[in-house]
Structure 1
Amino acid sequence: MSFFTHPIADDFTYSLKGKAYGILEVLKYEYLHWNGRYSSNLFVILNPIVFNSLIGYKLVPVFSIIFTIFSLYFFLSSITAIFNKIEKLNYSLFITLLYIYQMPVISEGIYWFTGFVTYHLGNILFLFLVSLIFRYLKNQFIFNKYSHAFIIISLLFIITGLNEVIMLNLLFLCTLTLFITYRNKQANRNFFILLFIFTLIFSSFVYFAPGNSTRESLFSNNHNLVSSLINSTIQTFRFIFEWISSLPLIIMSVFYYFINRQLSDKEVIFKNSFYLKPSYSIIIIFIVVFICIFPAYWATGILGQQRSVNVAYFLFIIFWFINLTVFFNYFKAQSVGFNELRAEIKIFAVLIMLISFAITKNGLSLISDIAYNKQIQYNNIMNKRFQTLSNFDKNNTDTIYFEQIPNPSKTIFILDITDDSECWMNKGYNAYFEIENKIVAR
């Protein structure tokens, strides 16, 4: 599907800024007049179409999926040595499938460059960050202790500046780990103090950016605390219930029971249930999801897009399995356990899981797109637009009419131009292709 994607909406506006004004000027303007996302503001103006590379744009989703798998593989390698390479690869593939299968808006998370570098890139880098922290605690340094710490802090700086939801979750998790290390008198407490201080500093860069107030002023129903709390809580329960009721997650949770027994026998942090009680672990998973939803309601009054919920789901998966460890260990202590599953039951369960991946949620949307050639229709229409605008005679003053995308692909379609030539999405084409003619859809 990656090779049917096309730049749209913000891709054009940010690319134009990068080409016309230069990186430093754009970063300064965005920080002062739009938002404090100092990292993603840099990445969005490095869009491949800035360099006139449509192929490069289409390759980004491929690398997005590959690096998701690799980050999970690195994460598993960092937290334990009990898995062999095949096991780590299999687990990484299945977790990636679980994420892609049920992420709330796959098109904006994987197949849209601007959405990817602002949100999903943070998920990938977050896994690398946690992995490097585990390696630091195990004295598995890159070069030496100080260079390793520098890499961790650099990653922390980049991730914090990507978006507000990952920033808030980093603050929460750094505070939580600091509390746990002090409560349990763990070693390396000074290291976690250092992480907390840097996270607080980097978060301040984002939160106190002058551009935040300018952006929020465009929404009239924002900063309503009661409404934001109520709506965010409702959505948190809604999404968590939807995610935990999916058959693939239920099956993977059953398999994890037996994996956790191995981990709890060999790894101290698993044996100690991440130093969490069952009640605390449940609260934490709700807080993590809530943090991803609340900023949208607070800043705009609505949950207008669900790109931030993609981040919530990614973090939910991680903390779901942490929760399972806590509860499995708790019931094990109560002498409640289960025998190993028979081989034929495992095979049947995996088949059911793979079928569920294919015929429900994003898997069903993908099959529907392919069955009805939606991605091909979309690609043909978008190619025609690019050819028309690239070869357009600028002496022609006529209005440019484009066909609206009929029955768009749910997997790769983001947004489209409208019948209003003043719409910002229409204007994006004008700006990028340097055409003054009105561009409308009909």
Structure 2
Amino acid sequence: MKHPLIDRLATVTVVLLFLLAYLPLVLLSFHNHPSAADDYCFADTATRYGFWQGQKYYYDGWTGRYFSNMLVHASPLVWGWYDGYRFIPALVATALVGSIYALVNEILRSESLKNRLLATGLVFFMIVMALQSTVEAFFWTAAIATYTVPTILTIYLVAVLIRWYRLPNSLLKGLTAVWASFLVFATIGSGETNLILLILLLFTIVGYRLVFLRRFDPLLVGLVVVALISAWLLFRAPGNAIRMGSNQAKAGELVKSVGFSFGWLARSIGEWLLKTPIIPFSLLFIPVARRLVRHGSPVRELFLLPAGLLTVIYLGLLAGTIFPSYYGLGIPPFARTMNILFVFFVLGWFYVLTVWVGWLERRGRSLTLVQKWPAPVWLFTGVWLIGSLLASTSIKQMGTDLLTGNASTYDHEMTERHQQLLTKADTVRLRPISVYPPSLFVEDIKSERNHWWNRCQSGYYGHKALVLDSTLTATVNP
């Protein structure tokens, strides 16, 4: 049995780790501002031509991401609510926590509420500490709509599907199926990265149930149909050809793209295993995994899968998440894609681990490392955790931006700039912002007045031109 003192210390530690990841996001959220990159372009299009015409403009001229396009064309700027951007990161972070809890709650429903909450906190902490780009995950609205939102929807969709199978035949079960269909439609319509992952996942589950279990699953087949129709809507967009045209010289090489995807995945997994505490957390998770796969567990059936085959599928799905970057653009995945990849790496890792634990248990090879050697395991976890925190770029960035006052200075100067842009003038000369905190900032307007970012922002505010003038003196932040 676990010692009460160790249990309390573990609980306090997990709560602190969760707060270390969540609170900086909330605090930084209230320093957030719309970005010159894309945010004003979407807002200017929607206010100038209308919401639906803006959808058509981007669908025909740039991208077929119909659902994320709807989100960005309904941003707070469109409604004239500039300060609405201060709430977006906090809401997105909370939604991610909620989706993780929804999934954990379904898989660990035989565990106590405390354990489910602690597991949710640890998963969220690991996701935030491993972020390659905090700003693209939580603060840049254009990236949030295309990457973070569909990731949240995908996680929640898996939870909804697990719940559907244990619901009795009723109106609620039918409505849940409709809701799952909408989640598929929205996820695929948000971006190609989650599109590939979700379609591969649905095909894999349908194939497994047909080939190994000899079961035809109407719900999953229906979701596959919805997914294919949704993907067709996205890829048929005339704007996709335009967006990908500049990379045709490097893109479209199928065999090389597959090889590069698996190579990049192997490199990434090696870094994650070293730089995050997933290995010691896995050791601590083994007792929970043993309870999940024992006889009488209400979720045991979820883990009665061929462990080797599942591992291959798991790696294939992760490589499939990378594949669009190499095949569509001919380059390694962006940081925002790696943010998504790590989310599904972590969730899939613990699922595959549980399946392997069940496989070993059924063969009489019980894993009792934590029970036999609790002190060394906990000490090992603590040392590794400290090292992981020291290596975490995202945690250090957020802490630095808050503690040095850079976030506050950026907020003050961006607010001042917004007030200046509200004045009436043909040409507005703006001074550069004195500090660009990496947790909050993507891109600023340029010194060339005809740059796309300048034109979008000047159009939104009703000016003829914006000029970034480095000769203007900065005001003092009181």
Assess same fold via TM > 0.5: yes
List gaps (5 residues or longer) in structure 1: none
Aligned equivalent of 1:5: 32
Q: Find the partner of 2:463 among 425, 435, 441.
A: 435
**Farther off after superposition, 241-250 or 302-311:** 302-311
Q: Find the partner of 1:394 among 421, 425, 432.
A: 425
Separation in 2, partners of 1:272, 1:135: 12
Q: Alpha-carbon deviations, 1:385-419, whole Å to 9, x = none?
A: 2122122x415x4x61421544x322222122232
Give the direction of change, closer, same or farther, for the CA distance of 1:375–1:287 in structure 2 (3 Å limit). Answer: same
Q: Alpha-carbon deviations, 1:293-332, whole Å to 9, x = none?
A: 2212222222473222222111111111122123323343
Separation in 2, partners of 1:5, 1:357: 27
**Farther off after superposition, 292-301 or 38-47:** 292-301
Fraction of identical pairs, as percent: 22
Trace 1:403-442 onto structure 2 (pairs within 5 A): 403-406=432-435, 408-440=436-468, 442=470
Q: Say what the alpha-carbon RMSD is for the aligned residues.
A: 2.5
Separation in 1, partners of 2:297, 2:172: 24
Find the residue that maps to 1:439 and give its secondary structure. strand
Trace 1:30-429 onto structure 2 (pairs within 5 A): 30-139=58-167, 143-185=171-213, 189-225=217-253, 226-265=255-294, 266-267=296-297, 270=300, 273-278=303-308, 280-303=309-332, 305-332=334-361, 333=363, 335-341=365-371, 348=379, 352=383, 355-356=386-387, 358-361=389-392, 362-391=394-423, 393-395=424-426, 397=427, 400-406=429-435, 408-429=436-457
Q: Alpha-carbon deviations, 1:234-255, whole Å to 9, x = none?
A: 3222222222222421222111
Give the direction of change, closer, same or farther, for the CA distance of 1:200–1:186 in structure 2 (3 Å limit). Answer: same
Separation in 2, partners of 1:237, 1:420: 42
**Farther off after superposition, 186-195 or 7-16:** 186-195
Separation in 1, partners of 2:274, 2:413: 38
Q: Does the 8 Å CA contact 2:304/2:355 hold for their aligned counterparts?
A: yes
Tell me the amino acid that sits aligned with residue 135 of structure 2.
S
Q: Does the 8 Å CA contact 1:160/1:203 hold for their aligned counterparts?
A: yes
For normalisation by structure 1, the TM-score amounts to: 0.91
List gaps (5 residues or longer) in structure 2: 1-27, 471-478
Separation in 2, partners of 1:267, 1:205: 42
Residue 78 of structure 1: CA displacement? 2.0
Q: Does the 8 Å CA contact 2:143/2:336 hold for their aligned counterparts?
A: yes
Residue 67 of structure 1: CA displacement? 1.4
**Farther off after superposition, 33-42 or 138-147:** 138-147
Find the residue that maps to 2:468 and give its secondary structure. strand
Q: Alpha-carbon deviations, 1:25-44, whole Å to 9, x = none?
A: 12222222211111001001
Q: How many residues align?
A: 437
Tell me the amino acid that sits aligned with residue 420 of structure 2.
T
Q: Does the 8 Å CA contact 1:288/1:315 hold for their aligned counterparts?
A: no
Q: Does the 8 Å CA contact 1:142/1:148 hold for their aligned counterparts?
A: no
Q: Does the 8 Å CA contact 1:7/1:57 hold for their aligned counterparts?
A: yes
Q: Does the 8 Å CA contact 1:216/1:222 hold for their aligned counterparts?
A: no
Give the direction of change, closer, same or farther, for the CA distance of 1:109–1:146 in structure 2 (3 Å limit). Answer: same
Separation in 1, partners of 2:59, 2:205: 30
Give the direction of change, closer, same or farther, for the CA distance of 1:21–1:267 in structure 2 (3 Å limit). Answer: farther
Q: Does the 8 Å CA contact 1:236/1:289 hold for their aligned counterparts?
A: yes
**Farther off after superposition, 160-169 or 425-434:** 425-434
Separation in 1, partners of 2:249, 2:238: 20
